[in-house]
Amino acid sequence: MNRPPQAAQNLSEPTIKLTEGWHCLHLYYTVDPAALNQISESDRAAAREQIEQILNPHRADAPERVQTSIVTGHRADLGLMILDPDPLKIDSIPTAIRATALGPALKRTCSFVSITEVSEYVPTVEQYAEKLRLDGTDPSDVTYQAKINAYEQRLPAMNRQRLYPDIPPLPVTSFYPMNKIRHPQANWYTEPFSVRSALMAEHATSGIKFAGRVSQLITASTGFDDWEWGVTLWSRAPEHIKEIVYTMRFDQASARYAEFGPFYVGYICDAIDALKHLKL
Ligand code: 76R
């Protein structure tokens, strides 16, 4: 009764690619100073050039998206976010880094495996129209149809961005995993769809206030990693990260049902600058 709609039975060719959307991998590395000291400067220089090329998002056979960031704090020094239709193309990046002379000095301390998706709570045009009516817009009002038309026009591009995201040109990124809890007193998964949908609509309304300051990508990881979603935020300035996470904790969907994993804050830069900064 409360179950999400099942996908139509898919008997197409077996494949490791998704029917729609991309695989996504977040990787975090720390630098091991003892291992680094064992590597000669000439080997390091050659490896730096190789890694710069491996992480170059513009090289011919690069994955669709590759983002490098400098991460502060003890959990990581270097962060990567990689998206592509082919999970093995994504995996070839850490493999290639490991195979360079700097490989032994770069320890993977965290990874997160997920896929892009269009959430079941993204309103259809019909659901959007119904919400307008419930919010008091009169269907005979000219703005009613105009709003519906605008949403209908916007929706395909918004869904494309969820499935095949462009990385926004913003300097700060924050990543954290999250779940919706299954506690006897607050179990997201026993709530009917209508309740979950209303809570997610409240969540969307509170999120929209950050338009222009924060962009977000929610990737799904149920069955792929230990948490249910990865939350990737990008912001125009660091304080917006704190503000959005703080503010959205008051949404009922988060206040009552969400739990969060460790947070990784990074500053986006080219691979060459990240390697320089890390004194590799
Ligand atoms: O994508 C959309 O804009 C449609 C509305 C929407 C959905 C369906 C939306 C809007 N989110 C959706 C789904 Mn979200 N979101 C989070 C977090 O820190 C927290 O409290 C939780 C982490 C943030 C910061 C955030 C931001 N959202 C989801 C889902 C999937 C649920 C599912 O499918 O079961 C999760 C886990 C989740 C979590 N969300 C927005 C934002 C922001 C800023 C918006 C408004 C975006 C905009 O339209 O401008």
The domain spans of the chain are: 23-116
Mean pLDDT calculated for residue range 16-32: 97
Is 176 assigned a catalytic role? yes
Greater confidence, 280 or 13?
A: 280
Distance of CA 74 to the CA centre of its chain: 22
Q: In this structure, which residue's CA is closest to atom 28 in ligand 1?
A: 218
pTM of the full predicted structure?
0.94
* CATH number of this structure's domain 23-116: 3.30.70.1030
Question: What pLDDT score was predicted for residue 49?
Answer: 98
pLDDT of residue 238 exceeding 70: yes
Give yes or no for residue 7 CB within 6 A of ligand 1. Answer: no
Angstrom distance (rounded) from CA 72 to CA 114? 23
Q: What pLDDT score does 90 carry? A: 98
- Mean predicted confidence (pLDDT) in 10-19: 88
Could you tell me the pLDDT band of residue 8, with boundaries at 50, 70 and 90? low
Q: What is the mean pLDDT of residues 206-229?
A: 98
- How much is the pLDDT for 10? 63
Task: Report the pLDDT value the prediction gives residue 5, as an integer from 0 to 100.
Answer: 72
| Tens digits of residue pLDDT in 120-149 | 999 999 999 998 999 899 999 999 999 999
Q: Which of 28, 29, 151, 176 is catalytic?
A: 176
Query: b/e for 139-169, b at 16 or more Cβ within 10 A?
Result: eeeeeeeeebeebeeebeeebeebeebebee
- Residue 133: the pLDDT is 93
* Atom 33 in ligand 1: residue holding the nearest Cα: 119
Strands 182-183 and 229-235: unpaired
Nearest partner of 276 among 94, 25, 68, judged by Cα: 68
Going by CA atoms, what residue is nearest to atom 49 of ligand 1? 208
Residue 105 pLDDT exceeds 90: yes
Query: Atom 30 in ligand 1: which residue has the minimum CA distance?
Result: 119
pLDDT at res. 154: 96
Angle between the 142-163 and 125-134 helix axes, to the nearest 10 degrees?
140
For ligand 1, whether the C-beta of 122 sits within 6 Å is yes
Regarding the beta carbon of 34 and ligand 1, being less than 6 Å apart is answered no
Main-chain phi, psi angles of 62, to 5 degrees: -70, 150
30 CB less than 6 Å from ligand 1?
no
Residues 154 and 12: beta-carbon distance below 8 Å = no
pLDDT recorded at residue 25: 99
Atom of ligand 1 nearest to the CA of 253: 20
Q: Per-residue pLDDT averaged across 151-160, rounded?
A: 97
Q: Give yes or no for a contact between 205 and 252, defined as CB atoms under 8 angstroms apart.
A: no
Across residues 178-186, what is the average pLDDT?
96
